[in-house]
Amino acid sequence: MSTQSVVAPNPIRPDLARIASWIMPQSRVLDLGCGDGALLAYLHEQKEVVGAGVELDDEQFIASVRRGVSVVQQNLEEGLALFDDQQFDTVVLSQTLQSMHHTEHILREMARVARFGIVSFPNFGYWPHGWSILRGRMPVTGEMPYQWYDTPNIHLCTLKDFQNLAASLDLRITHLATFNVDKEIKFLPGWRSTLAVYRFESPKRDARK
Domain assignment of residue 134, yes or no: no
Q: What is the pLDDT of residue 78?
A: 85
Q: What tens-digit pLDDT sequence spans the chain (209 residues)?
A: 333 333 335 689 999 999 999 999 999 999 999 999 999 999 999 999 999 999 999 999 999 999 999 999 999 988 899 999 999 999 999 999 999 999 999 999 999 999 999 999 999 999 877 777 777 877 777 776 777 777 777 889 999 999 999 999 999 999 999 999 899 999 999 999 999 999 999 997 654 54
Domain assignment of residue 9, yes or no: no
* Domain extent at residue 95: 14-127+156-207
Domain assignment of residue 39, yes or no: yes
How many domains is the chain built from? 1
Q: What is the pLDDT of residue 137?
A: 76
DSSP 152-200: S----B-HHHHHHHHHHTT-EEEEEEEEETTEEE-SSHHHH-SEEEEEE
Domain assignment of residue 139, yes or no: no
| Rounded distance between C-alpha atoms, residue 56 and residue 14, angstroms | 24
What is the sign, positive or negative, of the torsion defined by CA atoms of 201, 195, 15, 92?
positive
Domain assignment of residue 145, yes or no: no
Q: What is the pLDDT of residue 136?
A: 80
Domain assignment of residue 142, yes or no: no
Taking a C-beta distance cutoff of 8 angstroms, is the pair 176, 204 a contact? no
What CATH number does the domain containing 60 carry?
3.40.50.150
Q: What is the pLDDT of residue 10?
A: 64
Domain assignment of residue 3, yes or no: no
Q: What is the pLDDT of residue 204?
A: 79
Q: How far is CA 129 from CA 125, 143, 196, in A?
A: 7, 11, 15
The pTM is what?
0.88
| Rounded distance between C-alpha atoms, residue 179 and residue 23, angstroms | 19
Nearest-5° Cα angle at 69, 66 to 53: 125
Q: What is the pLDDT of residue 190?
A: 96
Judge residue 132's burial from the number of C-beta atoms within 10 Å of its C-beta, 0-12 exposed, 13-18 middle, 19 or more buried: middle
Domain assignment of residue 195, yes or no: yes
